[in-house]
Structure 1
């Protein structure tokens, strides 16, 4: 078992309140305690505090440099297999257990959220879930497939709605059956002496590599997919009849593409938004199950 985080073990000192403890105890946003704890352990790490401020400007400078270099490379040149081998190698050897766990969770949460929307839509569609059980599973081009899945989902969903002459609205009863806690154990993540890199630093480092080894089209598609957070948030809000939860979405507007320079930071916001939306859906599922139990004879 993981040790108790410092911000929980030390308790509260009114003369020197711990900002991480305040964030952990705050329940204004939907996030399970075990996820919030892992997120804050990663965010309060020495890597995040001391390394990220140096890595971020270097990574963004690399994005600009690579963009210049790629003007001399054939447009269709790409090395997706090499990219994913390097990512898997880096995750297993250098990234913290909490960050690896959150990355693997993200694939499961995204698959469940899309399945929830697809099944409860007035024009239901099937989805193509990506649910890696270990870091090695990511080798099968899963980072690229994740972005492609999202665009294909939006296109197929709206084609189905248009063909049926319908608009997104809440059904009489929501189907939450696809929602569950991902079968991933934090204790099973790599814990070597070099597994210290926090989530944000890892993403900032991997983003230029992503740009270098994929085509410009693939990289821009991946970066712009982050702005579909608002789109997915709107679909979920329409099904839940809860538009107020859109305030949790930070990546917007989907019709205004942003520069790729801040893709790393926006990817972190994308991951957090997914965690919060999944937590909200799980809460609604529990409420429905409790109501069913009370109504049972």
Structure 2
């Protein structure tokens, strides 16, 4: 039985379950549709998001006062992993783990196919919540910035690379069976509500520059889409990016939506490239 035919889905959810206009893997779509069905998302989340949004802006103001800056990366990561283990739903945890893999794949594909570039591949592919102690959220952001610095100025290939020229050396297809996420009775928070709490912790336990960079890193989505579109000869990929214009720095306003759309962007681009890889002949790079 397909997701669209499962009982309990509204007419709109059945519609988007059958809409494949945007690339997305079925596993990710199933997780997201189940997360949308979480009753707390529609009752508790609006209130908590309002409270956490106010708290976030107060912390943001506090961190920007002329006071000595402090950070606590290890404490931040331990708190997030503890919270994920005990209170975040299994579906939301799996979506978080998928995000590491989708973004690592997209960045490595971009780097290995960029012209005349020497780079260190991104190695963030956690398979469990415990793995995120080491493949931390802070490192997730810093790896993005490091890779862009290593890539330097973009030189669009002319013409685009043919399917046989594309290099998939560092690509790791996502196998949901390899994720190890235990389910507890206390895990009831949906993805968006969980993030509303996380963003307050991030703002408090990072320096103001680290946090400012992290919430503006989403805007590199447009640059990633432009570069990969140039590589494969598909300019429509830039339309997948909701977060745009990286030179315009923003604050925490509307952060929850921008974070969520960043997650959708990486899922869309991963699914597009995964299909691109599957369409190639066996003798090409694996």
TM-score relative to the length of structure 1: 0.87
- What residue is the counterpart of 1:171 in the other structure? 161
Q: Out of 112, 116, 124, which is 2:109 matched to? A: 116
Report which of the two has the higher share of helix: 1
Q: Using the alignment, how far apart are the partners of 1:204 and 1:186 within structure 2?
A: 28
- What residue is the counterpart of 2:190 in the other structure? 198
CA apart distance, 1:233: 0.9
- What residue is the counterpart of 2:34 in the other structure? 41
User: Quick check: 1:78 aligned with 2:71?
Assistant: yes
Moved more, 169-178 or 131-140: 169-178
Q: C-alpha offsets along residues 203-259 of structure 1, whole Å, 9 cap, x if unaligned?
A: 111101110111101110100101111111111111111011221210112111222
Moved more, 230-239 or 132-141: 132-141
- What residue is the counterpart of 1:9 in the other structure? 6
Q: Using the alignment, how far apart are the partners of 1:158 and 1:70 within structure 2?
A: 31
> 1:81·1:141 contact (CA, 8 Å) conserved in 2?
no
Q: Using the alignment, how far apart are the partners of 2:224 and 2:37 within structure 1?
A: 29
- Write the mapping of 1:1-297 to structure 2, written as runs, cut at 5 A: 8-10=5-7, 18-71=11-64, 74-126=67-119, 127-140=121-134, 142-158=136-152, 166-168=155-157, 170-172=160-162, 173-185=165-177, 188-289=180-281
CA apart distance, 1:184: 4.1
Question: CA 1:76–1:247 in structure 2 vs 1: closer, same or farther (change >3 Å)?
Answer: same
TM-score relative to the length of structure 2: 0.90
Q: Using the alignment, how far apart are the partners of 2:152 and 2:157 within structure 1?
A: 9
Q: C-alpha offsets along residues 9-62 of structure 1, whole Å, 9 cap, x if unaligned?
A: 2288xxxx6211111111111011121111111122112211221121111100
> 2:84·2:93 contact (CA, 8 Å) conserved in 1?
yes
CA apart distance, 1:149: 0.7
> 1:76·1:215 contact (CA, 8 Å) conserved in 2?
yes
Q: Greater CA radius of gyration, 1 or 2?
A: 1
- How large is the RMSD of aligned CA atoms in angstroms? 2.3
Q: Using the alignment, how far apart are the partners of 1:201 and 1:244 within structure 2?
A: 32
> 1:75·1:216 contact (CA, 8 Å) conserved in 2?
no
CA apart distance, 1:119: 0.9
Q: C-alpha offsets along residues 109-161 of structure 1, whole Å, 9 cap, x if unaligned?
A: 111111111111112333232111211111126100111111111111015x6
Question: CA 1:73–1:7 in structure 2 vs 1: closer, same or farther (change >3 Å)?
Answer: farther
Q: C-alpha offsets along residues 76-128 of structure 1, whole Å, 9 cap, x if unaligned?
A: 31111111010000001011111101101111111111111111111233323
> 1:117·1:236 contact (CA, 8 Å) conserved in 2?
yes
Uncovered stretches (5+) of structure 1, i.e. residues with no partner:
none
> 1:75·1:215 contact (CA, 8 Å) conserved in 2?
no
Q: Using the alignment, how far apart are the partners of 2:84 and 2:66 within structure 1?
A: 28
> 2:72·2:206 contact (CA, 8 Å) conserved in 1?
yes
> 1:20·1:44 contact (CA, 8 Å) conserved in 2?
no
Q: Using the alignment, how far apart are the partners of 1:241 and 1:5 within structure 2?
A: 33
Count, aligned residues: 280
Question: CA 1:6–1:277 in structure 2 vs 1: closer, same or farther (change >3 Å)?
Answer: closer
